[in-house]
Amino acid sequence: MDFSIPPELQELLRRARNLVETEVYPLEPEFFEKGFNAIEGTLKKVRDKVKAEGMWLPQIARQHGGLGLSLLEHGLFSAEIGRSPLGHYAFNCQAPDSGNMELLIQYANEEQQRKYLEPLLNGDIRSCFGMTEPEYPGSNPVWMGTTAMKDGDAYILNGKKWWTTGGEGAAFCVVMAVTDPEAPPHFRASQILVPTDTPGFIYEAVTPFMGHRGEGWASHSEVRLENCRVPQSNRLGPEGAGFLMAQERLGPGRIHHCMRWVGVCERAFDLMCRRAVERAIAPDRPLASKQFVQGWIAESRAEIDAARLMVLQAAWTMDRYGAKAARDQISLIKFTAANTMMRVVDRALQAHGGLGVTDYTPLATFYRMERAARIYDGTDEVHKLSVARRILRRYAGASGEDA
């Protein structure tokens, strides 16, 4: 693995960091105080600037109007823009839209691309992804209750979804629904594009989230599908391939999240170090003189560097050898990066004392919003189990025993 960063990429990273610091950081206080809708208009202007500066859609191929960065390059880019909770949105590479873009690029036909993909790439609309259901375990996504039954040339959808991130204000939802209950579990569901203004697509609630309701892109909707009728031509990809497509979507999606979390870690680390040298705990005695704080700083630096290298290695493996080869690495980084972020943000918050739990820094927002990192896109436990099982299977294979 080559650790050098080519000069052009270095320059791009420097410009991205500069744009986040000068244009996105100033929006944060209002976002923390008033929510997403209050800053959406200003954020749109920042997005225009990102476009004008040629940094729009870093992760998307050039033929679709993006920068065409490899996953490894996007990893480095994400660590810069992930320093702000609004960074990825400003560059139009935020979840869940980025995953949906990748799905549509791979599976959408011409008509679906024109109707859904193009406006998404332009940033004219937002989208959401509806897989998880309140009555079924998200950890076992082949078991779900939502159905899409054929009726003439249409599908009729019925069921309930929740944790539909960014649902409020989204133009369409990629809904996972069972199209053949008799098929083997992994081939029962399909992915269907459902415009959110379709009759029977009902927003029931925005889920209260760690003491906040959230709004717009920064919220999570509960949706009821009640005899919701869409043409069969709205199916994305082959019938019964929904689960496999979701797995494909989640591979790069997990790396994208981990890369963003490295950015969160770096911002928290910067804030902690600055506070340590600037805060005097007695005349001529900075907080930085205390060994507790020095310990936090040394441990955080080591843990961030370790997580960063693991994430970049997973991205490199995926770029070179594909998702299957990177499977173990993706599981390992998913829980490692999430837990590293938790520890680093917690230490940075503690170093700020009372200030840490105010909204005068982004730390409290990181602490609150990012706790879910250990849950979505595969819980810690499921990733640990699946990677351990694969490792043990290799040992069992070697000794001829079953694990």
Ligand X SMILES: Cc1cc2nc3c(=O)[nH]c(=O)nc-3n(C[C@H](O)[C@H](O)[C@H](O)COP(=O)(O)OP(=O)(O)OC[C@H]3O[C@@H](n4cnc5c(N)ncnc54)[C@H](O)[C@@H]3O)c2cc1C
Binding site for ligand X (CB under 6 A): 96, 129-132, 137-139, 163-165, 220, 372, 375-376, 379, 381-382, 385
Q: Take residue 304 and report the two structure tokens written for it.
A: 């961030």
- For residue 219, the minimal CB distance to ligand X (Å) is 10
**Residue 266 CB, nearest distance to ligand X (Å)?**
22
Q: Which of 220, 267, 262 is nearest to 362 (CA)?
A: 267
Are 180 and 239 in contact by the 8 Å Cβ rule? The answer is: yes
Please, which residue, 149 or 375, has the CB nearer to ligand X? 375
Taking the complex as a whole, the smallest distance from the CB of residue 278 to ligand X amounts, in Å, to 33
- Of 250, 249, 262, 247, the closest CA to residue 338 belongs to 262
Q: Cα(58)–Cα(74) distance, rounded to whole angstroms?
A: 7
Cα–Cα–Cα angle for 77, 249, 160, rounded to 5 degrees: 125
Minimum CB distance to ligand X, residue 233 (Å): 23
Residue 133, phi then psi, degrees to nearest 5: -130, 145
Our CB check for ligand X shows the closer of 157 and 312 to be 157
Residue 164, both tokens: 């539909």
Closest residue to ligand X using C-beta atoms: 138
Supply the minimum distance, in Å, between the C-beta of residue 147 and ligand X. Answer: 16
DSSP H or E run through 325: none
Shortest Å, Cβ 355 to ligand X: 26
Closer residue to ligand X (CB): 218 or 310: 218
The tokens for 375 are 């849950």
**Closest CB to ligand X among residues 25, 136:** 136
The torsion angles phi and psi of 196, rounded to 5 degrees, stand at -75, -10
| DSSP 8-class letter at 116 | I
Residue closer to ligand X by CB (options 107, 376) is: 376
Spatial contact of 293 and 276, defined as CB atoms under 8 Å apart: yes
By C-beta, is 131 or 193 nearer to ligand X? 131
Distance CA 333, CA 337 (A): 5
CB of 140 to ligand X, least distance (A): 6
State the minimum distance, in angstroms, from the CB of residue 316 to ligand X: 26
CB-based contact 315:71 (threshold 8 Å): yes
202 closest CA partner among 230, 168, 178, 233: 168
We find the least distance from the C-beta atom of residue 131 to ligand X, in angstroms, to be: 3
The distance of Cα 179 from the centroid of its chain, to the nearest Å, equals 27
Of 224, 222, 264, 248, which is closest to residue 322 (Cα–Cα)? 248
Give the span between the Cα atoms of 47 and 36, in whole angstroms.
Answer: 15
Burial class (CB in 10 A: 0-12, 13-18, 19+), 87: buried
Question: 85 or 96: whose CB is closer to ligand X?
Answer: 96
Nearer to ligand X, 274 or 374 (CB): 374
* Cβ nearer to ligand X, comparing 47 with 368: 368
